[in-house]
Amino acid sequence: MTGRNTPGDEMARGLHRGSNGSDAPGMAEQQSMPVLTAELDALLAARDVCPVFQPIVDLGTGEAVAFEALARGPAGSPLAMPDLLFTAARGAGRVHELDRLCQARALESALDAGLAAPFGLFVNVEPAAVSRIGPPTALLAGLR
C-alpha cells in the first residue's frame, strides 16, 4: 500500500475533482450549484429516480439468481448519472432523503418488474443514512 489515491479509489469514495483540480468545487461547479439544487428539488418532489437492475448470475449455469438495483436520475437531466446525483444531494444536505427514495423506488420497481422470489435483490444504501435514521423497516414491512 503506497498511501496514494488512485482515480479508482476516488471514484469508490464518490469524490469528484472540481475544475480547479481539488476536491472542492471549482468556479464552474459553484455557478451551477443552484441549477443542480433546483434539479434535485424537482427530482425528489416527483420521486423521479429510475432504478435499473443489473443481473447477478450463477457462473455455472449462466442463470440470473439475483439483481442489484442501481439508481439513475431522469434521462437527459444533469443528474442522470448516480455520481452527479449523489454529489448534488450531499451538497444540498439531502443525501439521506435521496437514499431513502432510491431504496423505495428500487423495491417498488423490482416488484412491478416481477423480480420477486426466487430472485434475490441487492439494494445499495449510504452508510451515513443507515447510521443516522436506521434501516428501512417501513419499506421492508411493505414486502411481507
Domain ranges of the chain: 47-143
Q: pTM of the full predicted structure?
A: 0.70
Instruction: Check pLDDT > 60 for residue 31.
Output: no
Q: Which residues, in sequence order, are bridge partners of residue 53? A: 69
pLDDT at 33: 74
pLDDT at 38: 93
* Distant-in-sequence, close-in-space partners of 111: CB < 8 Å, separation ≥ 6: 143
pLDDT band for 14, please (50, 70, 90 cuts). very low
102: how many CB neighbours lie within 10 A of its CB? Answer: 26
pLDDT in tens, 32-57: 678 899 999 999 999 999 999 999 99
pLDDT in tens, 98-127: 999 999 999 999 989 988 888 899 998 888
Top-ranked range on mean pLDDT: pick from 9-23, 54-68, 130-144: 54-68
pLDDT at 79: 96
Q: Which residues, in sequence order, are bridge partners of residue 57? A: 64
Instruction: Check pLDDT > 60 for residue 12.
Output: no
Strand order in the sheet with 52-57: 52-57, 64-70, 120-123
Architecture of the domain spanning 47-143:
Alpha-Beta Barrel (3.20)
> What is the maximum alpha-carbon separation in the chain?
51
Mean pLDDT of the chain: 77
Instruction: Check pLDDT > 60 for residue 11.
Output: no
Positive/negative CA dihedral, 116, 66, 100, 46: negative
pLDDT band for 15, please (50, 70, 90 cuts). very low
Cell numbers for 46, please give them: 416527483
Q: 69: closest CA among 124, 6, 120? A: 124
